[in-house]
Amino acid sequence: MSNYTYKARASDGSLKEGVAEAKSEQDLAHLLASQGLRVVSMEGPKGKKISEFSFSFGSVSLVERMMFTKNLSVMIGAGLSLTKALGVLSEQTKNDKFKKIIKSIAEDIQKGEQLEQSMSKHKAVFSSLYVSMVKVGETAGNLKEVLSSLAVQMKKDHDITSRVKGAMMYPSIILIAMLGIGALMMTLVVPSLAKTFKDMGAELPASTQFIIGVSNFLINFWYVAILLIIIFIYSFKKILKTETGKKAFDGMILKLPIFGNLSKQLNSARFSRTFTTLINSGVPIVDALNIISATLSNWFFAESMKSAAREIQKGKQLNEVLLKYKDIYPPLVIQMIEVGEETGALTEIMSQLAEFYEEEVDNVTKNMSTIIEPVLMIFIGAGVGFFAISMITPMYSMLDSI
């Protein structure tokens, strides 16, 4: 048995310090947990600190955050203090930026701050959803369970995002290859044909003159073309950061034949999954909807959540509010929410909705390359056809004049 000096936090958030005798730090953590206390840090025999920290700096991926959350939940469940668990995790991570953040959080906790307070300082890594759930877990004394739920939520989010990105890979490669071949044709093939037409004195139609003009521009002013592309990409990103630009772009996405339906299913799945996780963790429904509004990628879905939060405060039901947005929410979502509110089983039904739409997104993304391929072929065929007709027409004119 050894004496340990500890700092622990009670369920009301107050910090308590003391000395206790235990066989090991894990035994002490379990002992304090039975008293409703969560260990923040502890100091072993002879003043040996259980946790020590230092500083270090990259970008933190969703997978890294997911693994951090899952491992932190397991370590807390095993009886490790927060500071020791964070110390171990900081040593395990290979990302210098994340390592620095974890160590900074550990130091803040050592000083008496709550975990959610420290995490809220790193908004680029820990979202408002993440911080809010951690706060609930600390307050309710079920941080392990909340972190475990968060890890599941992040995995679901990662899986669904990966499917969409994977489905977009094929059309993206085809478009890039098409643009590359087009650029080579413009800079290598068209100049030779243009010289032939000029030597023969052929009369050129407007489409041929346009292609030759583009070719000359790319050859003589290629640096201007690159600069224009950079300016376009920069301006596009800037416009998307404005509310008007974001609203216009997201509205256009919702009206597209394939991507509009996918966006509705994706946002419905994310809304249902996040709502279930937050409510089951003890977050009030109004706070949950405000948090969800920051996690949804589409402007119209985010606005519907903000509106729902305001209307529910006035006494309205969630299904009543979402009826105003039936053009973006599939009818099934509103109907199932109405059933859930009437039966008092809203979270269970929302969980089923999440699983249903996650499966729908999975099915759509699996078949997306098959769906998009004919559309791509039409565009590529139209481009090749325009080029071929434009360059062959003068040749026929020259043959007729011989």
* Tens digits of residue pLDDT in 83-107: 888 989 988 888 889 999 999 999 9
Which pLDDT value is given to residue 37? 65
Instruction: Provide the whole-model pTM.
Output: 0.67
Domain ranges of the chain: 2-47, 62-154, 158-402
CA–CA separation, 61 and 208 (whole Å): 49
Q: Say whether 158-402 and 62-154 share the same fold.
A: yes
CA–CA separation, 244 and 194 (whole Å): 44
Which pLDDT value is given to residue 189? 86
Which pLDDT value is given to residue 141? 79
Residue 386 vs residues 136, 164, 207, 380: alpha-carbon distances, Å: 61, 32, 8, 10
The residue among 365, 34, 303 whose CA lies nearest residue 169 is 365
**Tens-digit pLDDT profile for residues 244-272:** 999 999 999 999 888 888 889 889 988 99
Which pLDDT value is given to residue 32? 66
Backbone angles phi, psi at 18, to 5 degrees: 180, -175
In order along its 402 residues, the chain shows pLDDT tens digits of 667 776 766 655 566 777 777 766 656 666 666 666 666 666 665 544 443 333 333 478 888 999 999 999 999 888 888 888 898 998 888 888 999 999 999 999 888 888 988 998 998 888 888 888 888 888 777 888 888 888 888 888 888 888 888 777 877 888 888 888 888 888 888 888 888 888 777 778 888 889 899 899 989 888 998 999 999 999 999 998 898 999 999 999 999 888 888 889 889 988 998 898 888 888 889 988 988 888 888 999 999 999 999 999 988 999 999 999 989 998 999 999 999 999 989 989 999 998 999 888 888 887 777 777 787 888 888 888 888 888 888 777 666 665
CATH topology (fold) of 62-154: Receptor-associated Protein (1.20.81)
Which pLDDT value is given to residue 300? 94
SS3 for 287-327 is HHHHHHHCCCCCHHHHHHHHHHHHHHHCCCCHHHHHHHHCC
CA 125 to chain centre: 12
Which pLDDT value is given to residue 175? 83
For domain 2-47, say whether CATH 3.10.20 is its number.
Answer: yes
For domain 158-402, say whether CATH 3.40.50.2000 is its number.
Answer: no
Residue where the block lists tokens 């909705």: 353
Which pLDDT value is given to residue 306? 92
Which pLDDT value is given to residue 304? 92
The residue among 380, 379, 396 whose CA lies nearest residue 181 is 380
Q: Which amino acid is at 389?
A: I
